[in-house]
Amino acid sequence: MTQTILQRVFLSTEIFLAFVLVVKSYSTYNEWKVRLQSRKKRLPVTVETGKPILLYFWTSDCAQCKPQERQIERAQAILQQSGKTLKIQKFDALEEHVLAKLMNVMTVPTTVLLNSHGNVTTWNPGLTPADTIVKQYLAIQ
């Protein structure tokens, strides 16, 4: 009985680890895909370039967009304390479908950080914490 339980605990741990590995690999693959795509194709004129910018994709019916907005506001406040400004551009993923396709938006919210040359540096599907946004922004400074 105890042995069976232990076996199932180990199996559960293995399943969790395998899942995290698959999710991280898939996410990394997609990030590279978006980076390549954004270099090959020209960004729509609606996207501001020249300075690092965070593209934030949302929809009015999105479950995690309000919490995401709070995280973005927090990230802006953290960066402001050290005299830095995080520029944000908000896009409705269903309305701006051409840009959403170019940025491989699979779910909302999705945040994409562009460097000053307009190249994608990071691609975050789903709810992204403020600390992660800050870290990603500081890495391209």
Binding test (CB under 8 A) with another protein, winner from 39, 97, 117, 135 = 97
Inter-residue contact 81 to 133 (CB < 8 Å): no
Provide the mask over 19-58, with x wherever binding to another protein is found by CB under 8 A and - wherever it is not: x---x-----------------------------------
- Asked if 130 touches another protein (CB under 8 A), the answer is no
CA dist., res. 116 & res. 56, Å (int): 16
Binding status of residue 103 toward another protein by CB under 8 A: no
Q: Which of 21, 29, 33, 67 binds another protein (CB under 8 A)?
A: 67
Query: Quick check: 137 and 55 in contact, CB under 8 A?
Result: no
Cβ at position 50, least distance to another protein in Å: 27
Residues whose CB falls within 8 Å of the CB of residue 40, separated by 6 or more in sequence, listed in order: none
119 in Cβ contact with 51 (< 8 Å):
no
- Find the part of the chain contacting another protein (CB under 8 A) among 4-12, 37-45, 78-86, 114-122: 4-12
Number of residues that bind another protein (CB under 8 A): 31
Tell me the C-alpha to C-alpha distance, in Å, between residue 140 and each of 3, 81, 97, 117: 50, 18, 27, 11
Which one, of 53, 47, 66, lies nearest residue 127 by Cα? 66
Per rule CB under 8 A, is residue 127 in the interface with another protein? yes
Stretch that binds another protein, among 11-19, 37-45, 48-56, 113-121 (CB under 8 A): 11-19
Taking a C-beta distance cutoff of 8 angstroms, is the pair 102, 33 a contact?
Answer: no
Sites of contact with another protein (CB under 8 A): 4-5, 8-9, 12, 15-16, 19, 23, 59-64, 66-67, 70, 92-95, 97, 106-108, 125-129
